[in-house]
């Protein structure tokens, strides 16, 4: 608190808060709200970079035998696109939401370790710059976002690209572990009086599980990256089959991290949607304890499915079947979630704001992505479809149609809280429909392309393959619609920051604690906390106990 | 719920456990090719002696913790003993490395070198970090104010130190004692 004697002053615009004036106040900040905003802004910045790389790929694939970029450049571009979207967009976006919202939602002043929080951000930021520095520092990495050995050995890729990839991911990995630990500790130790773990918002449950996955899976990647760095810099032989090393070992390490990583990315998205849907359905969440329990089940199972990424490496019969079974099993708690979202909307008074539209599209698109995942848990189908465009379609339905749609829904929902201004609903609706059109146009056909046999990461394709060039052309056109809709989104965020309607404390009539403080929240968060007697403290404020029988809202 | 520093340290130790698990698995994965080299170049007796030093340092650390809780003035003494025992271990590891390198067994020679030096090297690094933390505690207990080092500070660094010891038990059993199985 800057000055205890000063009467509590509220602001209605982020740019009005004197504590946040000037670059230095941001660079030196340990305020979880500023760090959260910086995470999200850098994620959005890197998203533009990743999107540009994607468009270059789509232009290259628009027509057969195209020479828009060289083969070598193409390898660097798809590697950087994948790495950027997973580590420089997905991770900081979810950390931004997590560190901004978690303390507010549990009624805390800040994170458990504010300085560690700042370290986590800056270590991410410079790690990310290090990755992009590779373009001018001798060539970008070119072995795909999962950098399979032995391609990553020095004998095959001698330029420093993989070294940059490994160093940057190691640096960011250490920062992620720190932030994961910080988030868990915050949820476990800093909850407001009365807020038992049964009463925290479901978003916080998802963040808690994500934090656990981060803290226990990122170290596996860090260890594997140390080994690959040693292979390249100290001439060790971990992943080099020529010297007795094992390329499969890298795959095991990478996917032991990589599959929990998928859930690290998607769980916060689940959390966002789980907050948005009840508010715009005017109902409590259906089966809230099932939602929390299925999250924990997903977290637990996600450590036992990694080998389904390796079905074609010649695993034994039992390994194949055990991992096929566990991969099918993880669809069950995920299905429970889809069910609870639908059941929450069922019979509610739905308000289709842009946030709600994105949440609804998320449910549909994520279900498609989930189902195409289940298809790949079936071993013969996986053998047929692996490393094809079907996989590209699957990952984009999960991470773009799923995670990113959920996160954009979250941005429409919480932007008023963060900035004090409403996003334009008119631009928002245009953004939504164009993005749905562009996204599905780009990626739905990729299922077919994959089934027709187009391999992923291929630089070009010959003339005369039936439908392949037509579908690629269509996909590229749709990608430009998608990019245009993202342009509208950025314009909306910039325009509404200046011209948007003043939001007020609680523009959506929501129930969780972050809406109890002013918009934007003052640096010290809460003057006085409302009493927490249920999952919906703000509902309880306006609905005294004798009133709560009308809706099943007040009680747990 | 416990204090946040303790919770944070416990979580950190859990994540470090995964990191070491991966390094140990790498060693185990190549044991078929490297087991013979390990049996012929490593000396479990000599390293065993240094192992005893490291394990006793956990005991002196525990005594230092107890002393701090009872506000007794033997904190500095037990911390000092812990640092000396940890230091003996590091010196022992240094001597062992020097001996191996003189015999032309380096990190890049073969898979044994790769897995052995990576695993034990990272453990040694963690011991060194622990020694720095212990020196800070010692400095605080000698020159600090009355309440320093705090109970929580002592406890959380003790958690880390015990963890480093526990990791060594696993590493020592895997790398040095496997030949007797």
Mean pLDDT of A344-372: 95
Distance from CA of A224 to the nearest CA of B (A): 8
Cβ distance A220 to B11 less than 8 Å, yes or no, reads no
The reply to whether ipTM tops 0.90 is: yes
Distance from CA of A246 to the nearest CA of B (A): 9
pLDDT tens per residue across span A204-238? 999 999 999 999 999 999 999 999 999 999 999 99
Disruptive mutation site among A113, A117, A185, A250 for chain B (greatest number of B CBs within 10 Å) = A185
- Give the model's pLDDT for residue A545: 64
How far, rounded to the nearest angstrom, does the alpha carbon of residue A398 sit from its chain's CA centroid? 10
SS3 A388: strand
- Give the model's pLDDT for residue A276: 96
How far, rounded to the nearest angstrom, does the alpha carbon of residue A538 sit from its chain's CA centroid? 28
- Give the model's pLDDT for residue B119: 96
Closest by CA to A431, choosing from A367, A495, A482, is A482
Q: For residue B147, what is the DSSP state?
A: T
Cα(A191)–Cα(A458) distance, integer angstroms: 50
Mean pLDDT of A368-378: 93
3-state SS of A270-308?
HHHHHHHHHHHHCCCCCCHHHHHHHHHHHHHHHHHCHHH
Residue B56 token pair: 């006793």
CATH fold for domain B2-180 = 1.20.120
Neighbours of A524 (CB within 10 A): 15
Distance from CA of A175 to the nearest CA of B (A): 12
SS3 A175: helix
Cβ distance B111 to A227 less than 8 Å, yes or no, reads no
> Which of A128-142, A201-215, A309-323, A535-549 is least confident?
A535-549
- Give the model's pLDDT for residue A425: 95
Give the nearest chain A residue to B7 (CA atoms): A185
- The answer to whether B33 contacts chain A (CB < 8 Å) is yes
Cα(A54)–Cα(A442) distance, integer angstroms: 11
Mean pLDDT of A314-340: 92
The pLDDT of residue A548 is above 60: no
Residue B31 token pair: 């044991």
Which of A215, A223, A234 shows the shortest C-beta gap to B108?
Answer: A234
Tell me the chain A residues in contact with residue B30 when contact means C-beta distances shorter than 8 Å: 244-246
Which of A185, A222, A226 shows the shortest C-beta gap to B11?
Answer: A185
Which of A216, A237, A246 shows the shortest C-beta gap to B14?
Answer: A216
Q: For residue A63, what is the DSSP state?
A: S
- Give the model's pLDDT for residue A9: 67
Q: What confidence tier does A314 reach under pLDDT thresholds 50, 70, 90? A: confident
Q: How far is CA B99 from CA A42, B42, B93, B108, in A?
A: 49, 10, 10, 16
Cα(B127)–Cα(B94) distance, integer angstroms: 12
Residue A473 token pair: 């052309």
For residue A373, give every residue at least 6 positions away whose Cβ sits within 8 Å of its Cβ, in sequence order, or none. A327, A331, A394, A398
Mean pLDDT of A295-308: 93
Mean pLDDT of B90-98: 95
The pLDDT of residue A303 is above 80: yes
Q: What confidence tier does A541 reach under pLDDT thresholds 50, 70, 90? A: confident
The pLDDT of residue B157 is above 70: yes
Tell me the chain B residues in contact with residue A235 when contact means C-beta distances shorter than 8 Å: 107-108
The pLDDT of residue A342 is above 60: yes
Q: For residue B69, how many C-alpha atoms fall within 13 Å in the half-sphere facing its CB?
A: 8
Cβ distance A226 to B118 less than 8 Å, yes or no, reads yes
Average pLDDT, chain B: 93
Q: What confidence tier does A543 reach under pLDDT thresholds 50, 70, 90? A: confident
Residue with tokens 């599980």: A209
- The answer to whether A223 contacts chain B (CB < 8 Å) is yes
Neighbours of B121 (CB within 10 A): 15
Closest by CA to B42, choosing from B137, B181, B172, is B172
Mean pLDDT of B163-169: 96
For residue A363, give every residue at least 6 positions away whose Cβ sits within 8 Å of its Cβ, in sequence order, or none. A273, A338, A341, A342
SS3 A554: coil
- Percent of all residues in chain A with a pLDDT value above 90, rounded to a whole number: 83
Burial of A136 from C-beta contacts in 10 A (0-12 / 13-18 / 19+): exposed
Cis ω before B65 (30° cut-off from 0): no
Cβ distance B7 to A226 less than 8 Å, yes or no, reads no
Cβ distance A184 to B11 less than 8 Å, yes or no, reads yes
The sign of the torsion formed by the CA atoms of A312, A313, A316, A322 equals negative
Mean pLDDT of A27-51: 96
Which of B3, B19, B118 shows the shortest C-beta gap to A230?
Answer: B118
- The answer to whether A243 contacts chain B (CB < 8 Å) is yes
- Give the model's pLDDT for residue A484: 97
Cβ distance A230 to B107 less than 8 Å, yes or no, reads yes
Disruptive mutation site among B2, B13, B14, B18 for chain A (greatest number of A CBs within 10 Å) = B18
Higher pLDDT, B75 or A254: A254
Average pLDDT, chain A: 92
Neighbours of A451 (CB within 10 A): 15
> Which of A55-69, A237-251, B62-76 is least confident?
B62-76
With left for phi above 0 and alpha for psi between -120 and 50, is residue B161 left, alpha or beta? alpha
Size of chain B, expressed as the number of residues it contains: 181
Cβ distance A230 to B12 less than 8 Å, yes or no, reads no
Q: What confidence tier does A529 reach under pLDDT thresholds 50, 70, 90? A: confident
Distance from CA of B74 to the nearest CA of A (A): 31
The pLDDT of residue B69 is above 70: yes
Cβ distance B113 to A236 less than 8 Å, yes or no, reads yes
Q: For residue A521, what is the DSSP state?
A: P
Cβ distance A244 to B7 less than 8 Å, yes or no, reads no
Closest by CA to B21, choosing from B170, B175, B173, B178, is B170
Cα(A521)–Cα(A104) distance, integer angstroms: 9
Tell me the chain B residues in contact with residue A218 when contact means C-beta distances shorter than 8 Å: 15
3-state SS of A78-118?
HHHHHHHHHHHHHHHHHHHHHHHHHHHHCCCCCCCCHHHHH
The pLDDT of residue A7 is above 70: no
Backbone angles phi, psi at B5, to 5 degrees: -65, -40
CA dihedral A255, A257, A258, A263 (to 10 degrees): 130
Cβ distance A236 to B108 less than 8 Å, yes or no, reads yes
Cβ distance B2 to A189 less than 8 Å, yes or no, reads yes
Q: What confidence tier does B181 reach under pLDDT thresholds 50, 70, 90? A: confident
Helix H or strand E segment including B20: helix B4-29
With left for phi above 0 and alpha for psi between -120 and 50, is residue B138 left, alpha or beta? alpha
Number of H helices, E strands in chain B: 6, 0
Distance from CA of B69 to the nearest CA of A (A): 23
Mean pLDDT of A168-194: 95
Cα(A188)–Cα(B157) distance, integer angstroms: 20
Cβ distance A112 to B4 less than 8 Å, yes or no, reads yes
Cα(A356)–Cα(A425) distance, integer angstroms: 11
> What are the extents of the domains in chain A?
29-525
Which of B8, B22, B30 shows the shortest C-beta gap to A253?
Answer: B22
Closest by CA to A445, choosing from A371, A402, A392, A378, is A392
Which of B19, B29, B113 shows the shortest C-beta gap to A219?
Answer: B19
pLDDT tens per residue across span A260-275? 999 999 999 999 999 9
Mean pLDDT of A123-128: 96
Cβ distance A235 to B23 less than 8 Å, yes or no, reads no
SS3 A502: strand
- Give the model's pLDDT for residue A542: 78
Distance from CA of B81 to the nearest CA of A (A): 31
pLDDT tens per residue across span A54-75? 999 999 999 999 999 999 999 9
Which of B2, B29, B114 shows the shortest C-beta gap to A237?
Answer: B114
- The answer to whether A190 contacts chain B (CB < 8 Å) is yes
Which of A182, A189, A244 shows the shortest C-beta gap to B1?
Answer: A189
Distance from CA of B114 to the nearest CA of A (A): 5
The pLDDT of residue A438 is above 60: yes
Mean pLDDT of A542-546: 69
Cα(B99)–Cα(B93) distance, integer angstroms: 10
Q: Compute the radius of gyration of chain B from its Cα atoms.
A: 18
Query: A484 near A51, Cβ under 8 Å?
Result: no
Disruptive mutation site among B4, B14, B160, B163 for chain A (greatest number of A CBs within 10 Å) = B4
Cα(B175)–Cα(A209) distance, integer angstroms: 35
> Which of A169-173, A182-186, A524-528 is least confident?
A524-528
> What are the extents of the domains in chain B?
2-180
Chain B, 90 to 109: residues with Cβ < 8 Å from chain A are 107-108
3-state SS of A408-471?
HHHHHHHHHHHHCECCCHHHHHHHHHHHHHHHHHHHHHHHHHHHCCCECCCCCCCCCCCCHHHH
Mean pLDDT of B148-175: 93
Output the DSSP codes for A346-379. TTS-----HHHHHHHHHHHHHHHHHHHHHHHHSH
pLDDT tens per residue across span A491-518? 999 999 999 999 988 999 999 999 998 8
- Give the model's pLDDT for residue A546: 56
- The answer to whether B140 contacts chain A (CB < 8 Å) is no
- Give the model's pLDDT for residue B96: 95
Cβ distance A223 to B107 less than 8 Å, yes or no, reads no
Distance from CA of B7 to the nearest CA of A (A): 6
Q: What confidence tier does B8 reach under pLDDT thresholds 50, 70, 90? A: very high
The pLDDT of residue A549 is above 80: no
- Give the model's pLDDT for residue A27: 94
Cβ distance B111 to A182 less than 8 Å, yes or no, reads no
Identify the bridge partners of residue A388 per DSSP, sorted by sequence position. A455
- Give the model's pLDDT for residue A427: 96
Disruptive mutation site among A219, A222, A232, A261 for chain B (greatest number of B CBs within 10 Å) = A219
Distance from CA of B25 to the nearest CA of A (A): 10
Cα(A380)–Cα(B78) distance, integer angstroms: 63
Look up the CATH superfamily of A29-525.
Answer: Cytochrome c oxidase-like, subunit I domain (1.20.210.10)
């Amino acid at each position: 608190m800057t000055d205890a004697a000063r009467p509590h002053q509220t602001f209605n615009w982020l740019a009005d808060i004197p504590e946040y004036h000037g670059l230095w106040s941001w660079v030196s900040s340990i305020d979880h709200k500023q760090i959260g905003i910086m995470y999200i802004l850098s994620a959005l910045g890197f998203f533009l970079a990743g999107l540009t790389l994607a468009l270059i790929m789509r232009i290259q694939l628009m027509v057969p035998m195209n020479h828009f970029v060289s083969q070598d450049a193409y390898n660097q571009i798809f590697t950087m696109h994948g790495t950027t979207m997973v580590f420089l967009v997905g991770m900081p976006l979810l950390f931004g939401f997590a560190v901004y919202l978690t303390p507010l939602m549990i009624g805390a002043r800040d994170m458990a370790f504010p300085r560690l929080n700042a370290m986590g951000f800056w270590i991410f930021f410079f790690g990310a710059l290090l990755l992009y520095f590779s373009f001018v520092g001798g060539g970008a990495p070119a072995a795909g976002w999962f950098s399979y050995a032995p391609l990553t050995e020095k004998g095959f890729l001698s330029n420093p690209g993989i070294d940059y990839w490994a160093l940057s991911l190691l640096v960011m990995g250490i920062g992620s572990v720190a932030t994961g630990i910080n988030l868990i500790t915050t949820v476990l130790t800093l909850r407001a009086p009365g807020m038992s773990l049964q009463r925290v918002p479901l978003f916080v449950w998802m963040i808690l599980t994500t934090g656990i996955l981060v803290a226990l899976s990122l170290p596996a990647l860090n260890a594997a990256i140390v080994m690959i760095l040693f292979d390249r810099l100290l001439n060790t032989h971990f992943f080099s089959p020529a010297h007795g090393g094992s390329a499969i070992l890298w795959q095991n390490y990478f996917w032991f991290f990589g599959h929990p990583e998928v859930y690290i990315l998607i769980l916060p998205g689940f959390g966002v949607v789980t907050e948005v849907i009840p508010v715009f359905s005017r109902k409590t969440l259906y089966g809230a304890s099932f939602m929390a329990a299925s999250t924990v089940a997903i977290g637990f199972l996600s450590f036992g499915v990694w080998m389904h990424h390796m079905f074609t490496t010649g695993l034994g019969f039992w390994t194949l079947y055990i991992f096929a079974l566990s991969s099918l099993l993880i669809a069950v708690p995920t299905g429970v979630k889809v069910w609870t979202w639908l059941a929450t909307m069922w019979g509610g008074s739905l308000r289709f704001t842009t946030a709600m539209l994105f949440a609804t599209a998320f449910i549909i698109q994520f279900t498609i992505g989930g189902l195409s995942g289940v298809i790949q848990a079936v071993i013969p189908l996986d053998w047929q479809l692996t490393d094809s465009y079907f996989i590209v379609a699957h990952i984009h339905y999960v991470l773009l149609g799923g995670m990113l749609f959920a996160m954009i829904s979250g941005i429409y929902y919480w932007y008023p809280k963060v900035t004090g201004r409403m996003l334009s609903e008119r631009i928002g609706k245009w953004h939504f429909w164009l993005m749905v059109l562009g996204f599905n146009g780009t990626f739905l056909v990729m299922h077919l392309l994959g089934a027709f046999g187009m391999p992923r990461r291929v630089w070009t394709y010959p003339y005369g393959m039936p439908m392949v060039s037509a579908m690629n052309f269509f996909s590229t056109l749709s990608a430009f619609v998608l990019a245009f809709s993202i342009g509208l989104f950025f314009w909306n965020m910039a325009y509404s920051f200046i011209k948007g309607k003043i939001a007020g404390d609680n523009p959506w009539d929501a129930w969780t604690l972050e809406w109890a403080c002013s918009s934007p929240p003052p640096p010290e968060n809460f003057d006085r906390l409302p009493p927490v007697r249920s999952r919906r403290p703000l509902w309880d404020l306006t609905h005294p106990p004798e009133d709560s029988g009308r809706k099943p809202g007040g009680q747990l | 719920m416990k204090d946040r520093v303790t919770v944070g340290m416990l979580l950190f130790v859990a994540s470090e456990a995964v990191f070491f698990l991966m390094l140990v698995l790498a060693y185990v994965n190549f044991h078929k090719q490297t087991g013979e080299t390990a049996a012929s170049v490593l000396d479990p007796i000599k390293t065993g002696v240094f192992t005893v030093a490291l394990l006793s340092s956990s005991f002196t650390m525990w005594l230092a913790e107890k002393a701090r809780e009872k506000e007794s003035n033997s904190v500095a003494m037990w911390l000092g003993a812990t640092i000396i025992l940890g230091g003996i271990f590091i010196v022992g590891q240094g001597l062992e490395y020097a001996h191996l390198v003189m015999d032309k067994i380096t990190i890049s020679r073969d898979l044994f070198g790769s897995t052995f030096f990576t695993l034990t090297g990272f453990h040694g690094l963690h011991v060194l970090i622990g020694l720095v933390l212990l020196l800070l505690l010692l400095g605080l207990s000698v020159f600090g104010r009355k309440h320093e080092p705090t109970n929580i500070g002592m406890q959380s660094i003790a958690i880390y130190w015990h963890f480093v010891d526990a990791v060594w038990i696993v590493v020592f059993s895997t790398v040095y004692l496997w030949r007797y199985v």
